Amino acid sequence: MLFTEIAFTAYPAPDIAASRAFYEGILGLVPTMAHEGDGGGFWVEYELGAHTLAIGQAPGWAPSPDGPSCGLEAVDFDSTIALLQSADVPFRMGPLETPVCRMAIISDPAGNSLIIHKRKPGHH
């Protein structure tokens, strides 16, 4: 098998209003596509550079704090962390510093883990 890229990263989001309020209202992401499916499902995409982060709902797709996670590279780590703290977003870990980055793990409204990340200069 050969692949050319990661097409998207997606999180299950059973409550569309709460998830959109978080991803759009708190994180400031702008939806590039939103689709409501038959039976009450939905799918929303947010483009971040060359990548797409999506939230959606489908039968059997359940949120989990222990599942895969996505790391969002912050422009200004300190102000991003301060904004998340002031919005009472739950932190699962950190913020902390490693030799190559600063990071924190937060929970979205469904309980999925999302990493807020900032590389140190000279690290890719």
pLDDT classification of 45: cutoffs 50, 70, 90: very high
pTM here is 0.90
pLDDT bin (cut points 50, 70, 90) of residue 51 is: very high
Which DSSP string corresponds to 30-98?
Answer: -EEEEEE-GGG-EEEEEEETTEEEEEEE-TT----TTS--EEEE-SSHHHHHHHHHHTTPPEEEEEEE-
Average pLDDT of span 82-101:
97
CATH fold for the domain made of 9-119: 2,3-Dihydroxybiphenyl 1,2-Dioxygenase; domain 1 (3.10.180)
- Give yes or no for a contact between 77 and 116, defined as CB atoms under 8 angstroms apart: yes
Which pLDDT score, from 0 to 100, does residue 59 have?
Answer: 85
pLDDT digits (tens, 9 = 90+) for 28-38: 999 999 998 77
Q: Per-domain residue ranges for the chain?
A: 9-119
Mean pLDDT of the 38-59 span: 90
| Rounded-to-integer distance, Cα 91 and Cα 44, Å | 24
CA distance 3 to 37: 28
Residues 45 and 55: their CA atoms lie apart, in Å, by 7
Task: Specify which residues 107 forms β-bridges with.
Answer: 113
